[in-house]
Amino acid sequence: MPHSFGYRARTRHMFKRGFKDHGPVKLSTFLINYHIGDIVDIKANAAQQKGMPHKYYHGRTGIVYNVTPSAVGVIVYKVVGNRYLEKRVNLRVEHIRHSKCRQEFLDRVKANTQAHAVAKEKGERINLRRIPALPREARTVSTAQNAPQTIVPVPYETTI
């Protein structure tokens, strides 16, 4: 049972840096532009303790609502009881990154737009909806030229 109940209690593995990812924060982190409405992932960077999120928000995704020179405000929805609370957290840019959760959707929109334009040019209709993966086709196995084989495990032998 833990005896400390501090702000960063039980974050030993959560806040650690990645393999070969130790040391100061890369300068490219500060060159990324964030705009209001951007979807960002919150991932605490242990190299910078200022503006670090609480452990609850680590790994969450939110929407940027405020931008300052060195930090951003992010809206995150938290489940409390039977409702969602809108939490507004202010984080330094070292602890956030652009989310890729919408990238597949945006790629699909672009591909659908091009496919629709080509179909309209040809004067035909096209189905742009996603189709779930269908079950595999049924097949029969013949034993005419394919005699059944009994498979048994090979006994273990040491090579020493």
pLDDT digits (tens, 9 = 90+) for 2-34: 788 999 999 999 999 999 999 999 999 999 999
pLDDT at residue 160, as a whole number: 78
Indicate the domain borders of the chain: 27-99
Average pLDDT over residues 144-153: 92
List CB contacts of 42: < 8 A, sequence separation 6 or more: 53, 57, 58, 59, 60, 61, 62, 74, 76, 89, 91, 95, 96
* Greatest distance between any 2 Cα atoms in the chain: 76
Distances (CA, A) of 60 to 16, 20, 75, 77, 98: 17, 24, 10, 9, 12
Average pLDDT over residues 48-74: 96
pLDDT at residue 46, as a whole number: 93
List pLDDT tens digits, range 92-142: 999 999 999 999 999 999 999 999 999 999 999 999 999 999 999 999 989
Average pLDDT over residues 153-159: 89
What's the half-sphere exposure (Cβ side, CA atoms, 13 Å) at 9?
A: 7
CATH code of the region 27-99: 2.30.30.70
pLDDT band at residue 159 under the 50/70/90 scheme: confident
Supply the DSSP symbol for 10: T
pLDDT at residue 52, as a whole number: 94
- Phi and psi (nearest 5°) for 28? -65, -20
